[in-house]
Amino acid sequence: MTCHLERRIPGTLCRVSEPNTRSPAVAGEPDGDGGLESVALTPPTRVTRSRATLADVARLAGVSAKTVSRVFSGNAYVADQTRDRVMAAANRLRFRPNDLARSLRHGGVANTVGFVMGDITNQFYFQVAAGMERELAKHGITMILAATEDDPGSEERVVETLLNQRVRALVIVPIAADQSYLEGERQLGTPVICVDRPARNLVADAIVLRNRSGTADAVRALVTNGHRRIGFICSPGGLYTHEQRLAGYRDALREAGVTDSRRWERLKDVDGRPDEESARELMALPDPPTAIVAGNNHASAGVIRALGERRSEIAFIGFDDFELADALGISVIAYDTLEMGRRAALRLLERLDDPTGPPQHIEVDTHVIARGSGEIPPAS
């Protein structure tokens, strides 16, 4: 214990933490291992002592290493008495099986899966990660996280890091122009699953949203409500999703016989607040749109800002649901992000069982949630 150290803390930001229960304060504890089962044997002097190994436990328990191994591997034939003796020794030594060594022995593949996302602060990716993690945890697989920060050039390097850790599979949000560099890995038995956008030049499963027809659904709903002049605003980020959604918008307007839809498309790709500006542009037209569709949540924010007090006049539907959209009565094209991650995980588990099956292109469903803003009729 380093309790005696806790009193000589210098600085400004640092204070001793104070536990809320049991012992009045950690700093006040006696310098043994208070609260623990007091195994002793652990001299407080040596902070860095090497961990106990199988052999150590075996020695203490008076058995062979293999027997200890059997106890910790679970399903082996070990006499109850022996098992107890081994467990006692293991607890005394704080033994923990080393998964690194175990994995090495098992063909050098770890029990992990790598997830490569783009901009790590984008909550969409994290929801996907969450869905994945939940499913993988059920199967005792842990998830390693890495981010490309949406830099195409870093994808291969990031992936490499994960491969060197011998992940059993890779789930990636493709950002590089080409994923063919992964073909060799796939052949070597590391499945690749793409999320949000498909891979290019690589045979891989893909889990994407129903972008195109999902957007078309929303536009159709507006058309049904009497709208003809419908704006579309999107800041292109992920090219694939963006293209698909734009295509869906056009599909629906074409169906409706609207031929000049291009006039109401605004697809800026500059920084700053292009979406807000785009929305203002549209609203300033001599014949402004009576409804606006946003292609992603970033664009939604811009449009909502631009609409301001005119929120009750112009219909609006945005792709991607968001916190409080419910409370604010904003209609959206929504989907289950967790489900996306779950599907990725499930596909991945299937792949591990059968690496040779054909690649699947899975679309996660989307649906329009009517909350008011999307049901406003055209002004005229």
Residues 70-99 that bind DNA (CB under 7 A): 70, 72-73, 76-79, 81-83, 95-98
| Least Cβ distance, residue 292 to a second copy (angstroms) | 14
Burial label, 28 (beta-carbon count in 10 A; 0-12, 13-18, 19+): exposed
The angle that helices 274-283 and 297-307 make with each other, rounded to 10 degrees, is 50
Q: Is 102 in the site for DNA (CB under 7 A)?
A: yes
The angle that helices 80-92 and 54-61 make with each other, rounded to 10 degrees, is 120
**What number of chain residues touch DNA (CB under 7 A)?**
33
Residue from 339, 362, 367, 375 touching a second copy (CB under 8 A): that is 362
| Least Cβ distance, residue 116 to DNA (angstroms) | 22
Only one residue has tokens 């070990």, namely 78
Cα 301 from chain centroid (whole Å) = 22
d(CA 317, CA 375): 9
Q: Is 272 in the site for a second copy (CB under 8 A)?
A: no
- Residue number, 328 or 370, with CB nearest to a second copy: 328
Burial label, 53 (beta-carbon count in 10 A; 0-12, 13-18, 19+): middle
| Least Cβ distance, residue 137 to DNA (angstroms) | 20
Amino acid at 30: P
Burial label, 335 (beta-carbon count in 10 A; 0-12, 13-18, 19+): buried
Residue from 55, 76, 88, 177 touching a second copy (CB under 8 A): that is 177
Single out the residue of 217, 136, 116 nearest to residue 176, CA to CA: 116
| Least Cβ distance, residue 47 to DNA (angstroms) | 17
- Residue number, 34 or 378, with CB nearest to a second copy: 34
Residue from 40, 55, 177, 285 touching DNA (CB under 7 A): that is 55
Only one residue has tokens 């009193």, namely 7
Q: Is 201 in the site for a second copy (CB under 8 A)?
A: yes
Stretch of 44-52, 220-228, 251-259, 285-293 lying at the interface with a second copy (CB under 8 A): 44-52
Stretch of 54-62, 123-131, 229-237, 245-253 lying at the interface with a second copy (CB under 8 A): 123-131
Stretch of 79-87, 229-237, 255-263, 353-361 lying at the interface with a second copy (CB under 8 A): 353-361
Number of Cβ atoms within 10 Å of the Cβ of 159: 24
Number of Cβ atoms within 10 Å of the Cβ of 273: 17
Contact residues for DNA (CB under 7 A)?
50-51, 53-55, 62-67, 69-70, 72-73, 76-79, 81-83, 95-98, 101-102, 104-108
